[in-house]
Structure 1
Amino acid sequence: MATFVSSASTSLDGFVALPDDTPGPLFDWYDAGDVAVQNAGDLPDFHLTPASAAHWHAWRASLGCLVVGRRLFDLTDGWRGEHPLGVPFVVLTHSPPAAWAHAGSSGVEFATDLDDALGRAAAVAGDAVVGVAAGQVATQVLAAGALDAVRVDLVPVFLGRGRRYFTADGPPLRLGDPSSVVVATGVTHLSFPVRSLSRPGG
């Protein structure tokens, strides 16, 4: 059975991007070391510290599929059909693109509602992890009671404004004690289990 885990580089005040959708200093840790980490697709290599590289490889190896939103899909042009993590992805959108240059790409699906997106991703992932993009998608999956864990690549900066990891106010939610803590140059990698899941139909 797939598990659903959100993950994002995040400022101390909870932002995952600046107002113009650029990461600013939040991605500096991707070039903070000497360990070359190759991406799928046509993005250049990362250069991570040994601690961040081990963390990244473990995350990548755990993944079976991703769920992303339309904003991220449009900003990246759908990674031209091949996500840097090298896994299939499902795009949650009310309006799938009628024409997209890479529409024939294998491993890319579109879903118009959350249950369909999660179901498709889970079917692809099998017993692996479904990575959930930050922002509206992570917020919806959390509100639906389907999020198993929250991962934070915590960068020691305050952005003051921008795009938040979770976009809507909701009831207080206590996460469990961190299941993983990795301290690295320019970032601390954290993973928290979500308590008291109430899955749809469960």
Structure 2
Amino acid sequence: MSHVIAIMSMSLDGFVAGPDDDVRQVFDWYFASGDVELPTGGSDPMTFRVSEPSARHLRTLTPRLGAVLTGRRTFEVAQGWGGNHAWGPAFVVTHAVPDGWPRPDSTVHFVTDGIESAVRRATDAAGERAVGVHGADTIRQCLDAGLVDELQIDVAALLLGSGVRLFDHLATAPTVLGDPTVVAGVGVTHLTYPVLKEQPAHDEG
């Protein structure tokens, strides 16, 4: 099975969006942290402008990815990525397929029968490459199901104080992680943690 990597930006105090669902500050480092230009590809391409350390980090990460898994909320905010995500086929976990989808020539797929099915379909599509999981709720579901192999967390240099937390209400916490790899960028710190598959038993007493 493909490697499953949870990928998300968050503030230092753990929020991926503000109280009004505004994600701009958390993701600002992608567009204003340096002079290195990185085009994203896909149907709705963007150009990142990051520092050299962040560019090296992204150049190492993104070629590993062969599919993306996310939730309906992220799909809506991203307006369906123009029909083709830069990381490869996209699998959206949802209760119902949105109106107007799926679309011809699109590589966006909708999974209505749960997170395990979504991960299975995404890993099949990714082949020998990894699946990138994006979106707070989808990442939490994958962690609770024991389906994440690695966390790639980009910690933006700000404190939001309130909003949407990335790791709220984990059913399986505490989850023990391996030693991190740390890349210090400009306005962001990139943390990579392996998720240990052999977790210590939780003390019920």
Would the TM-score normalized by the shorter structure come out above 0.5?
Answer: yes
Taking a change above 3 Å as real, the CA distance of residues 96 and 197 of structure 1, as seen in their structure-2 partners, is farther
Whichever residue aligns with residue 81 of structure 1, its letter is G
Q: Structure 1, unaligned stretches of length 5 or more?
A: none
Note the alpha carbon deviations across 1:12-36, whole angstroms, 9 max, x for none.
1111111222223212212211111
Q: Distance in 2 between matches of 1:115 and 1:16?
A: 24
Aligned length: 195
Moved >6 Å (runs of 4+) = none
What is the aligned partner in structure 2 of residue 157 from structure 1?
158
Matched, 1:17 2:3: no
Give the deviation of 1:116 after TM superposition: 1.5
Q: Distance in 2 between matches of 1:86 and 1:115?
A: 20
What is the aligned partner in structure 2 of residue 127 from structure 1?
128
What is the aligned partner in structure 1 of residue 103 from structure 2?
103
Contact 2:66–2:125 under 8 Å retained in 1: yes
Q: Distance in 2 between matches of 1:197 and 1:75?
A: 36
Whichever residue aligns with residue 11 of structure 2, its letter is S
Root mean square deviation of aligned Cα: 1.6
Q: What secondary structure is seen at the aligned counterpart in 2 of 1:151?
A: strand
What is the aligned partner in structure 2 of residue 76 from structure 1?
78
TM-score, normalised on structure 2? 0.89
Give the deviation of 1:97 after TM superposition: 1.3
TM-score, normalised on structure 1? 0.90
Q: Distance in 1 between matches of 2:134 and 2:189?
A: 19
Contact 1:147–1:197 under 8 Å retained in 2: no
Q: What secondary structure is seen at the aligned counterpart in 1 of 2:22?
A: coil
Note the alpha carbon deviations across 1:143-181, whole angstroms, 9 max, x for none.
001111111111121101111112424331121111x21
Whichever residue aligns with residue 12 of structure 1, its letter is L
Q: Distance in 1 between matches of 2:107 and 2:186?
A: 34
What is the aligned partner in structure 2 of residue 116 from structure 1?
117
Note the alpha carbon deviations across 1:102-122, whole angstroms, 9 max, x for none.
622332111011121111101
Higher mean Cα deviation, 49-58 or 160-169? 160-169
Taking a change above 3 Å as real, the CA distance of residues 76 and 197 of structure 1, as seen in their structure-2 partners, is farther
Q: Distance in 2 between matches of 1:18 and 1:131?
A: 23
What is the aligned partner in structure 1 of residue 202 from structure 2?
none
Q: Structure 2, unaligned stretches of length 5 or more?
A: 200-205
What is the aligned partner in structure 2 of residue 137 from structure 1?
138
Contact 1:63–1:131 under 8 Å retained in 2: yes
Taking a change above 3 Å as real, the CA distance of residues 79 and 12 of structure 1, as seen in their structure-2 partners, is same
Q: What secondary structure is seen at the aligned counterpart in 1 of 2:110?
A: strand
Q: Distance in 2 between matches of 1:197 and 1:131?
A: 22
Contact 1:148–1:197 under 8 Å retained in 2: no
Give the deviation of 1:197 after TM superposition: 5.2
Whichever residue aligns with residue 18 of structure 1, its letter is G
What is the aligned partner in structure 1 of residue 69 from structure 2?
67
